[in-house]
């Protein structure tokens, strides 16, 4: 939920009393006061400066006597702040800023008395470990709470704690068994034991990877217009593995920045550099590849800024930073590190440099896919076999039917004929439609017909010559040739004002010109795409003969007697003057070869030879093909097998050698320039690889390469990196970072709620060799972390966002975790680690809509469906639909929104994954004795058992559902017909349906979707 | 921005203030709870808005994606014929950047591939390719002097809709929804309708075009799909009757209320309300998208394509239905106006898709008395250049992107009817009079909605952001009726 920022600012500005035992620190104690109250009029921005006074630079303030070091009483700044004269007092009343508190004034005075020692913005000062005793986290948090006279909350119930910890460290809720063993463990080390167990889990790396992939803008496609698929997923597995091995964060950084440059670089070290190739790539026509290349370099620098340094470097792309001490040329000096990659700005399969890589983790997917094919193949074979008997009966009938001759195609009679531009059309007795009268440059013919057959599988268009046409050919246009740009088939039911588009999937013709030499016109398939820049013509072929096109419907059309067919022949070619002169339309009800060729249909052939003998083996095969195309028991197993085969093909590709985008230097380094106003080809002064000195000076022993850059970033002299890293971890566990603006530690970011704690953790991380697991263990073993998240109304009012940490944090889990939790709770989860991406359920047609059919989404089948969300295929232009509030993976994101919308409710109620999980839970429930059912459901989904009151509500709704389904068995069946685990025969489906609803209800409870 | 419409629930405060545990207090009533729906609450915008009385209470934005050719459609240049095939003078081009598609070819002038007519009492020039629009020109305010900073589709469209070429800013519709809220409690405030096309479109319509950027995400546009589920996940599974869904929601709500009483987190109250809204949307959205109650003459007015669900024409009817239901901002997208080649087959195809329905929408709104306070906006992200792309005199020639001038139109909602604003040079290349930058257009649209664009800000990462950005932009007074 969105909370107003104003509240936040107010919160953070709660006066920090200066601890008497410590000296005043400029960055912590003074700059916030100046920045909040003074600098908007007395800062670096000249255009808003009042009284020519600057308070952001010591010399200026001293020169103007605003600050007299050692003499607070005489300093103008103090006099004005404490003045009671409304004309004199600062900040002035009309600025609507509150009067400074006594504590703030005291702090200022003390600072001036102590010499007004100046300093930098807090984040640019090196972090220091302040004094602490006991658990450092609890020490700093409680020190603050004591001052505010707020008591910390008691420890949360054990089941809540385990659930919180399991979700935080592995992204999965505890299993009932894990829950039981933790509840039983009364030893004093029970908590430490479980923390260590979870940090050792292979799911730990997956959970951490989800964080890192958002920052890395990882995706399985390029993005932009063509959005081509890439195969960078081995890098994702590298990340999981790095976290699981607890690779130190400095090493983790180094390998991703410069794995390729390390001495004797291993494959995996090269693979690591894919981090800096996860940006979008743009293959848009008309775009200069050099412009794209520059974009990628800039994207890398911005990502480094956001992820490691917590700085909005993007601002300095066009001009020097308005707030932070980063100049325009600092920025481009940073780009120089990434400017000589051996890349040329291309996308798709031309996005070099690549690493040829074979993933050891692809193999299990292959065997899974293979098993699925093995399972389905015999089913298809036996279905084919089983079809032979009914085929014989069918064939006998066909032979009888065709014994007196056969016509597969039935000519359509028009009920009305219309044209858009004025051509006159008349239908003649043989069904041919003749044009006459005006001969416009372009036209559309609209042929309306009563539906004369019960079923239609195909449509045939004959284009006919006539002596009234030019040269007695096919058109009245200048050359006598025709161009059909598009053909549309629609159905309109009587009394219905709307029409239905009928999908045509195939078109064949007896003659087609070469489209390359005919201005794009030739191929009859191009009449299916509603694009007038291409279409069908037979130009170059004999144009005094009839030509035929046959269209196949995607599925047989069956309608009532009153339905009307509308067939549109669009002739909208660029040159025009080639409208069809005469044509005839027919339909057929036959499947198979009849609608995929222009020759005689199998049945017509049968009719011819029928009298003499039975069909020969070739014709039998054609007829069997027709029979199978219509035989639904066979089609079911065929479609299932085809899908398994497609999945297998994909898996095979994944086990082969993959091209993973990585970093590699080109031989000739490029020169790097400042880009004026950030425009890619507006070169300013030349720059060389360097870092912003205001953050930390370059490490002189290092070469100016990506290796050096990585070492500078993780150097203990860099004041930002460790702070930013621990803040990320804190955000992961508490929902909000100690610095709320995870992406911005600069002057415009928020100051930390607990600066000493942040610094302590940052220093501690570096002292422990950048050991991430160490920091996580430290935080999760604090009493602060283990507090109950319930809030009294007064505490909620005082601290709605829990910045004071007087209670446990309560926030909605990320949507990916909700999906994983549902899979885990229901036992569906496939716990395999790594491998090629999978496709979880999502509603039909979402890719097709965006790309108008260019990409088709087929959910994975078999156990691949139940992999963790980390492995879900990520199409950059349309993220998985079941993920709400997730990062977009277009650019680096380190802080996700958290909203609460009706669309989320709909997703969790109706998404197939959640419904399938509910059905699985229901299946388990109905196999248990009644009293154990609700407890089982609650233990799996909420890690506890229901109270008596909750039990009553569950029972109330279950009774309603049972009452309904017991008398509506068909509805129960319908409810359960989805996904893969369709109930087996013999299941009590009424009970299963009713329990499915109760399980779905439980998966939709606030408690279940919340970190609490 | 303190006015978060979602405050803690009444029951929560009841439970807390009286010191009685809700669970025990309410249990008896919960068990015999009737399947009644909770009362509807009003969703309001910011208390400070509108700044002044709005002329336009609602907006329909007919977004034409790809860059329609102003040269073929509106910006008649009768003198171009005599320059046909000659090189565009440098004095006109003034270093204008080109896309790589034409950067290496000579810029040879290609006159309009179409004829023009002066129409209506106002005498506006409209192309023969837009015969229906001619009949409503007196209701229209044409802006011939639009200009933008971007030359490629995605950045230009992003700027056109969010004010900045980099994705991540809120869309115009999201700003409107955030500022003004909705008059309809059963539908989102901002809805997006995409034309269903048969071929893969060359310019994907990214969802950041209707995104909420840094505004809370509930203000983002909700895309109505042309599918079984007009909104993703809207439809309950088969075999789940309405009364059982109601029961489930009652159960969820009761269990969540119990939890709220122990945890005290107002977010739980919000969740309860959002589940109820979801339930209401399950009836309100299908009712909205089912056109079977529209009269036959409506389809005749909007043209034959309006009978085809998902077409631009059908979406125009839907837009009118949404406006009737009080939805604040409706945005249509029609793709494939990117006519690099073959104007006579490709550009005309888009004209046929959109001409009759766009004109019908104006007529329809007007006769229903809705045009006065509904602003209709028509336009794309940029225009097209005067030079031919490909061989200039071949019918297969087209035009490259052009940011320096393009034409848009407004109708209703306080826009000056029967007026043409701004002028371009003899080559439809540079604005010569009354240029309107995309930001000026945004400022003017907000003004018509009763909002002062300079005072309408959102604080994000320590900065006050506004739709019209930091550079000076202005309300174009001449466009106001």
Does residue A889 lie in a domain region?
no
- Give me the mean pLDDT over the A981-997 stretch: 94
From A95, A119, A143, give the residue that closes a domain. Answer: A119
Domains of chain B in start order, with CATH, are 58-226+309-447 (3.40.720), 235-305 (no CATH)
Does residue A771 lie in a domain region?
no
Q: If you ran DSSP here, which 8-state letter would residue A801 be given?
A: T
> In the Cβ-directed half-sphere of A755, how many Cα atoms lie within 13 Å?
21
Which pLDDT score, from 0 to 100, does residue A47 have? 59
Chain A hits for B198, Cβ within 8 Å: 528-531, 852
Does B417 touch chain A if contact means CB atoms closer than 8 Å?
Answer: no
Does residue A482 lie in a domain region?
yes
The 10s digit of each residue's pLDDT in B363-418 is: 999 999 999 999 999 999 999 999 998 889 998 899 999 999 999 999 999 999 99
Residues A371, A477 within the same domain? no
Q: What's the rounded Cα separation, in Å, for the pair B204 and A227?
A: 10
- The packing angle between helices B242-263 and B266-289, to 10°, is 160
Residues 629-688 of chain A with CB under 8 A from chain B are none
Backbone angles phi, psi at A846, to 5 degrees: -70, -35
B199 and A852 within 8 Å at the Cβ level: the answer is yes
Which pLDDT score, from 0 to 100, does residue B236 have? 95
- Indicate the burial class of A6 (C-beta count within 10 angstroms; 0-12, 13-18, 19 or more): exposed
- pLDDT band at residue A44 under the 50/70/90 scheme: low
A972 and B239 within 8 Å at the Cβ level: the answer is yes
Residues A9, A88 within the same domain? yes
Q: What's the rounded Cα separation, in Å, for the pair B31 and B247?
A: 12
- Give me the mean pLDDT over the B218-222 stretch: 83
Does B342 touch chain A if contact means CB atoms closer than 8 Å?
Answer: yes
Does residue A149 lie in a domain region?
no
* Cβ pair A606, A404 in contact under 8 A: no
Residues 69-98 of chain B with CB under 8 A from chain A are none
Beta strand A433-436 with A424-427: parallel, antiparallel or unpaired?
antiparallel
Residues A544, A430 within the same domain? yes
Does residue A813 lie in a domain region?
no
Going by C-alpha positions, the residue among A221, A235, A239 that lies closest to residue A351 is A221
Residues A377, A456 within the same domain? no
Could you tell me which residues are beta bridge partners of residue A744? Answer: none
B316 has pLDDT over 50: yes
From A119, A144, A173, give the residue that closes a domain. Answer: A119
- Between the alpha carbon of residue A310 and those of residues A213, A446, A693, B71, B431, the distances in Å are 17, 63, 16, 48, 43
Does A284 touch chain B if contact means CB atoms closer than 8 Å?
Answer: yes
In the numeric block, the tokens 């929560």 are attached to B12
Give the 3-state secondary structure of residue A837: coil
Does residue A383 lie in a domain region?
yes
Residues A494, A499, A503: CA angle, nearest 5 degrees: 125
Chain B hits for A492, Cβ within 8 Å: 307
Residues A418, A404 within the same domain? no
B308 and A498 within 8 Å at the Cβ level: the answer is yes
Does residue A45 lie in a domain region?
yes
Q: Which domain holds residue A526?
A: 414-600
B231 and A964 within 8 Å at the Cβ level: the answer is no
Chain B hits for A748, Cβ within 8 Å: 461-463
From A623, A640, A655, give the residue that closes a domain. Answer: A655
Taking residue A513's Cβ as centre, other Cβ atoms within 10 Å add up to 19
B26 has pLDDT over 60: no
Which pLDDT score, from 0 to 100, does residue A328 have? 87
B247 and A961 within 8 Å at the Cβ level: the answer is yes
Give the 3-state secondary structure of residue A493: coil
Which pLDDT score, from 0 to 100, does residue A323 have? 63
Which pLDDT score, from 0 to 100, does residue A13 have? 35
Min distance B244 CA to chain A CA atoms (Å)? 6
Residues A588, A616 within the same domain? no
Residues A464, A397 within the same domain? no
Does B147 touch chain A if contact means CB atoms closer than 8 Å?
Answer: no
DSSP-derived secondary structure for B290-320: -GGGS-HHHHHHH-GGGGSTTSHHHHHHHHH
E-only strand ranges, A464-617: 486-492, 499-501, 504-509, 521-522, 535-536, 547-558, 564-571, 582-588
- Say if residue A140 is preceded by a cis peptide, omega within 30 of 0: no
The 10s digit of each residue's pLDDT in A70-85 is: 999 999 999 899 888 8
Does residue A1004 lie in a domain region?
yes
The 10s digit of each residue's pLDDT in A366-393 is: 999 999 999 999 999 999 999 999 999 9
- pLDDT band at residue B462 under the 50/70/90 scheme: low
Residues A21, A39 within the same domain? yes
A691: its two tokens: 């870092």
Backbone dihedral region for residue A275 (phi beyond 0: left; psi -120 to 50: alpha; all else: beta): alpha
Residues A428, A393 within the same domain? no
Which pLDDT score, from 0 to 100, does residue A542 have? 95
The 10s digit of each residue's pLDDT in B125-157 is: 999 999 999 999 999 999 999 999 988 888 899
- Give me the percent of chain B exceeding a pLDDT of 90: 67
Chain A hits for B281, Cβ within 8 Å: 902, 906
The 10s digit of each residue's pLDDT in A954-966 is: 999 999 999 999 9
b/e code A235-270 from CB counts within 10 Å (16+ = b): bbbbbbbbbbebbbbbebbbbbbbbbbeeebeebbb
Backbone angles phi, psi at B192, to 5 degrees: -125, 135
Which pLDDT score, from 0 to 100, does residue B220 have? 83
- Give me the mean pLDDT over the A682-705 stretch: 94
- Give me the percent of chain A exceeding a pLDDT of 90: 75
Does A851 touch chain B if contact means CB atoms closer than 8 Å?
Answer: yes
Q: What's the rounded Cα separation, in Å, for the pair A742 and A724?
A: 7
**B360 or B214, higher pLDDT:** B360
| Cβ neighbours for A244, distance < 8 A, ≥ 6 positions apart | A202, A204, A205
A852 and B198 within 8 Å at the Cβ level: the answer is yes
Q: If you ran DSSP here, which 8-state letter would residue A978 be given?
A: S
B433 has pLDDT over 60: yes
B225 and A947 within 8 Å at the Cβ level: the answer is no
Give the 3-state secondary structure of residue B208: helix
Domain count, chain A: 4
Residues A104, A39 within the same domain? yes
Distance from CA of residue A410 to its chain's centroid?
Answer: 50
| Cβ neighbours for B323, distance < 8 A, ≥ 6 positions apart | B58, B60, B330, B365, B370, B374
b/e code B208-240 from CB counts within 10 Å (16+ = b): bbbbbbbbbbbbbbbbbbbbebbbbbbbbbebb
B1: its two tokens: 């921005």
Chain A hits for B401, Cβ within 8 Å: 286
Chain B hits for A961, Cβ within 8 Å: 244, 247
In the numeric block, the tokens 């707020």 are attached to A150
Q: Which of A286, A843, A972 sits opposite B101 (nearest CB)?
A: A286
Which pLDDT score, from 0 to 100, does residue B207 have? 79
- Give me the mean pLDDT over the A169-178 stretch: 98
A949 and B27 within 8 Å at the Cβ level: the answer is yes
- Give me the mean pLDDT over the A381-407 stretch: 93
Nearest CA in chain A to B99: A286
Does A845 touch chain B if contact means CB atoms closer than 8 Å?
Answer: yes
The 10s digit of each residue's pLDDT in A720-758 is: 999 999 999 999 999 999 999 899 898 778 889 999 999
Min distance B261 CA to chain A CA atoms (Å)? 9
Which pLDDT score, from 0 to 100, does residue B38 have? 38
Q: Which of A557-561, A858-862, B122-126 shows the lowest mean pLDDT across its residues?
A: A557-561
Which pLDDT score, from 0 to 100, does residue B244 have? 97
Give the 3-state secondary structure of residue A558: strand
Q: Is the dihedral of CA A118, A124, A125, A130 positive or negative?
A: positive
Backbone angles phi, psi at B367, to 5 degrees: -70, -20
A851: its two tokens: 């790309």
Which pLDDT score, from 0 to 100, does residue A321 have? 67
Q: What's the rounded Cα separation, in Å, for the pair B273 and A706?
A: 52
Give the 3-state secondary structure of residue A248: coil
Residues A584, A449 within the same domain? yes
The 10s digit of each residue's pLDDT in B46-103 is: 888 899 999 999 999 999 999 999 999 999 999 999 999 999 998 898 888 777 777 7
Nearest CA in chain A to B297: A497
The 10s digit of each residue's pLDDT in B176-219 is: 999 998 788 788 889 999 998 877 666 777 778 998 888 876 78
Which pLDDT score, from 0 to 100, does residue B40 have? 38
- Give me the mean pLDDT over the A6-32 stretch: 54
The 10s digit of each residue's pLDDT in B260-273 is: 999 999 899 989 98
Residues A394, A540 within the same domain? no
């Amino acid at each position: 939920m969105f909370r107003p920022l104003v509240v936040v600012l107010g919160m953070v500005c709660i006066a920090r009393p200066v601890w008497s035992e410590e000296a005043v620190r400029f960055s912590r104690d003074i700059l916030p006061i100046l920045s909040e109250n003074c600098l908007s009029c007395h800062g670096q921005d000249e255009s808003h400066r009042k009284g020519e006074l600057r308070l952001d630079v010591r010399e200026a303030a001293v020169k103007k006597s605003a600050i007299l070091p050692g003499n607070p009483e005489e300093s103008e700044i103090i006099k004005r702040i404490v003045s009671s004269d409304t004309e004199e007092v600062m900040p002035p009343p009309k600025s609507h800023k509150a009067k400074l508190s006594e504590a703030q004034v005291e702090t200022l005075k003390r600072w001036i008395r102590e010499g007004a020692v100046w300093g930098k913005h807090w984040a640019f000062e090196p972090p220091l470990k302040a004094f602490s005793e006991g658990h450092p986290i609890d020490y700093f948090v409680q020190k603050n709470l004591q001052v505010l006279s707020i008591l910390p909350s008691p420890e949360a119930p054990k089941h809540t704690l385990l659930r919180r910890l399991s979700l935080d460290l592995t992204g999965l809720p505890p299993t009932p068994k894990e829950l039981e063993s933790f509840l039983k463990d009364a030893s004093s080390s029970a908590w430490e034991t479980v923390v260590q167990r979870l940090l050792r889990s292979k799911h730990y790396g997956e959970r951490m990877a989800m964080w890192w992939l958002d920052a890395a803008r990882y995706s399985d496609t390029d993005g932009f217009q063509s959005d081509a698929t890439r195969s960078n997923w081995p890098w994702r597995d590298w990340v999981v593995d790095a976290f699981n091995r607890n690779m130190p964060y400095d090493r983790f950084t180094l390998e991703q920045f410069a794995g390729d440059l390390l001495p004797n670089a291993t494959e995996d070290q090269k693979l690591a550099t894919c981090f800096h190739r996860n940006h979008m790539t743009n293959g848009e026509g008309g775009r200069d590849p050099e412009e794209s290349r520059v974009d990628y370099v800039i994207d890398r620098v911005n990502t480094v800024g956001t992820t490691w340094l917590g700085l909005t470097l993007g601002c300095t792309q066009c001009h020097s930073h308005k707030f932070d001490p980063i100049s325009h040329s600092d920025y481009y000096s940073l780009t120089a590190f990434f400017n000589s990659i051996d890349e040329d700005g291309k996308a798709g399969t031309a996005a070099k440099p690549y690493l040829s890589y074979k993933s050891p983790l692809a193999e299990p997917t292959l065997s899974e896919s293979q098993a699925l094919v093995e399972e389905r193949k015999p089913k298809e074979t036996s279905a084919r076999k089983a079809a032979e008997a009914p085929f014989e009966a069918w064939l006998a009938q066909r032979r009888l039917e065709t014994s007196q001759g056969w016509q597969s195609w039935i000519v359509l009679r028009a009920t009305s004929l219309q044209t858009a531009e004025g051509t006159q059309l008349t239908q003649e007795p043989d069904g041919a439609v003749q044009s006459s009268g005006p001969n416009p440059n372009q036209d559309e013919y609209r042929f309306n017909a009563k539906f004369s057959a019960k079923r239609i599988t195909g449509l045939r268009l004959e284009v006919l010559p006539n002596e009234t046409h030019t040269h007695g050919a096919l058109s009245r246009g200048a050359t006598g040739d025709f161009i059909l740009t598009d053909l549309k088939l629609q159905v309109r039911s009587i009394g219905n004002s709307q029409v239905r588009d009928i999908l045509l999937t195939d078109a064949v013709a007896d003659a087609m010109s070469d489209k390359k030499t005919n201005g794009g016109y030739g191929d009859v398939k191009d009449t299916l795409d509603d694009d007038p820049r291409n279409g069908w013509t037979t130009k170059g072929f004999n144009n005094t003969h009839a030509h035929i096109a046959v269209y196949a419907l995607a599925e047989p059309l069956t309608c009532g007697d009153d339905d009307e067919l509308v067939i549109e022949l669009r002739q909208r070619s660029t040159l025009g003057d080639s409208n069809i002169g005469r044509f005839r339309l027919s339909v057929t009800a036959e499947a198979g070869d009849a609608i995929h060729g222009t020759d005689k249909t199998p049945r017509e052939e049968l009719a011819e030879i029928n009298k003499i003998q039975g069909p020969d083996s070739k014709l039998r095969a054609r007829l069997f093909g027709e029979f199978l195309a219509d035989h639904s028991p066979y089609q079911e197993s065929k479609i299932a097998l085809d899908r398994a085969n497609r999945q297998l093909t994909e898996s095979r590709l994944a086990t082969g050698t993959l091209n993973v985008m990585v970093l590699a230097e080109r031989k000739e380094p490029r020169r790097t320039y400042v880009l004026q106003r950030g425009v890619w080809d507006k070169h300013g002064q030349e720059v060389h690889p360097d870092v912003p000195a205001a953050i930390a000076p370059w490490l002189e022993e290092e070469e100016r390469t990506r290796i050096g850059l990585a070492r500078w970033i993780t150097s203990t002299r860099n004041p930002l990196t460790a702070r930013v890293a621990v803040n990320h971890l804190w955000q992961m566990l508490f929902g909000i970072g100690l610095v709320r603006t995870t992406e911005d530690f600069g002057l415009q970011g928020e100051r930390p709620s607990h600066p000493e704690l942040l610094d302590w953790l940052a220093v501690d991380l570096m002292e422990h060799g950048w050991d991430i697991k160490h920091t996580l263990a430290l935080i999760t073993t604090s009493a602060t972390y283990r507090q109950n998240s319930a809030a009294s109304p007064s505490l909620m009012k005082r601290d709605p966002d829990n910045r004071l940490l007087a209670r446990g944090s309560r926030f909605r889990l990320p949507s990916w975790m909700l999906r994983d939790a549902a899979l885990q709770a229901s036992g569906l989860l496939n716990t395999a680690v790594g491998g090629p991406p999978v496709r979880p359920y999502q509603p039909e047609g979402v890719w097709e809509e965006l790309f108008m059919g260019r990409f088709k989404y087929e959910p994975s089948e078999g156990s691949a469906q139940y992999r963790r969300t980390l492995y879900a295929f990520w199409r950059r232009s349309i993220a998985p639909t079941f993920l709400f509030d997730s990062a977009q993976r277009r650019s680096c994101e380190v802080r996700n929104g958290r909203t609460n919308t009706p669309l989320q409710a709909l997703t969790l109620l109706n998404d197939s994954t959640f419904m399938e999980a509910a059905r699985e839970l229901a299946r388990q429930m109905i196999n248990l004795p009644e009293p154990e059912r609700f407890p089982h459901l609650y233990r799996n989904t909420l890690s506890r058992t229901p109270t008596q009151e909750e039990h009553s509500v569950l029972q109330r709704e279950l009774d309603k559902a049972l009452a309904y389904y017991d008398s509506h068995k068909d509805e129960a069946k319908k409810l359960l017909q989805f996904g893969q685990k369709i109930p087996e025969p013999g299941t009590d489906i009424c009970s299963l349906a009713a329990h499915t609803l109760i399980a779905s209800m439980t998966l939709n409870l606030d408690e279940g979707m919340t970190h609490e | 921005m303190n006015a978060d419409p979602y405050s803690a629930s009444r029951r929560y405060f009841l439970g807390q203030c009286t010191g009685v545990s809700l669970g025990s207090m309410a249990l008896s009533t919960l068990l015999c709870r009737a399947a009644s729906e909770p009362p509807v609450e009003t969703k309001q915008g910011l208390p400070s808005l509108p700044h002044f009385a709005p002329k336009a209470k609602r907006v329909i934005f007919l977004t034409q994606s790809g860059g329609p050719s102003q040269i073929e459609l509106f910006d008649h240049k009768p003198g171009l014929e005599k320059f046909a095939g000659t090189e565009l003078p440098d004095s006109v081009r003034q270093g204008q950047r080109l896309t790589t598609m034409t950067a290496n070819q000579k810029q040879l002038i290609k006159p309009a591939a179409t004829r023009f007519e002066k129409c209506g009492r106002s005498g506006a020039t409209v192309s023969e390719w837009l015969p229906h629009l001619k009949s409503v020109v007196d209701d229209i305010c044409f802006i011939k002097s639009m200009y933008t900073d971007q030359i490629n589709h995605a950045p230009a469209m992003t700027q056109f809709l969010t004010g900045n070429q980099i994705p991540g800013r809120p869309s115009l519709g999201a700003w409107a929804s955030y500022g003004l809220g909705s008059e309809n409690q059963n539908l989102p405030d901002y809805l997006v309708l995409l034309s269903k096309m048969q071929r893969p479109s060359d310019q994907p319509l990214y969802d950041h075009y209707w995104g909420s950027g840094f505004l809370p995400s509930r203000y983002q546009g909700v895309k109505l799909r042309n599918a079984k589920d007009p909104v993703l996940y809207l439809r309950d599974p088969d075999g789940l009757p309405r009364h059982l869904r109601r029961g489930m929601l009652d159960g969820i709500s009761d269990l969540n209320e119990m939890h709220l009483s122990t945890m005290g987190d107002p977010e739980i109250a919000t969740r309860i309300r959002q589940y109820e809204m979801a339930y209401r949307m399950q009836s309100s959205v299908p009712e909205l998208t089912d056109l079977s109650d529209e009269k036959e003459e409506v389809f005749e007015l909007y043209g034959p394509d309006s009978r085809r669900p998902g077409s631009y024409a059908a979406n125009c009817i839907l837009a009118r239905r949404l406006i009737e239901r009080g939805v604040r901002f409706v945005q249509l997208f029609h793709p494939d106006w990117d006519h690099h080649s073959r104007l006579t087959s490709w550009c005309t195809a888009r004209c046929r898709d959109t001409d009759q329905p766009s004109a019908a929408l104006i007529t329809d709104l007007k006769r229903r008395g809705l045009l006065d306070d509904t602003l209709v906006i028509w336009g794309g992200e940029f225009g097209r250049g005067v030079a031919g792309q490909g061989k200039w005199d071949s019918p297969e020639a087209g035009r490259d992107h052009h940011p320096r001038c393009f034409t848009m139109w407004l109708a209703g909602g306080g826009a000056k009817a029967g007026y043409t604003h701004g002028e371009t040079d003899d080559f439809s290349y540079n604005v010569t009079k009354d240029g309107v930058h995309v930001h000026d257009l945004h400022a003017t649209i907000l003004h018509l909605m009763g909002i002062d664009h300079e005072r309408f800000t959102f604080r994000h990462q320590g900065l006050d952001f506004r739709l019209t950005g930091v550079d000076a932009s202005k309300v174009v007074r001449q466009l106001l009726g």
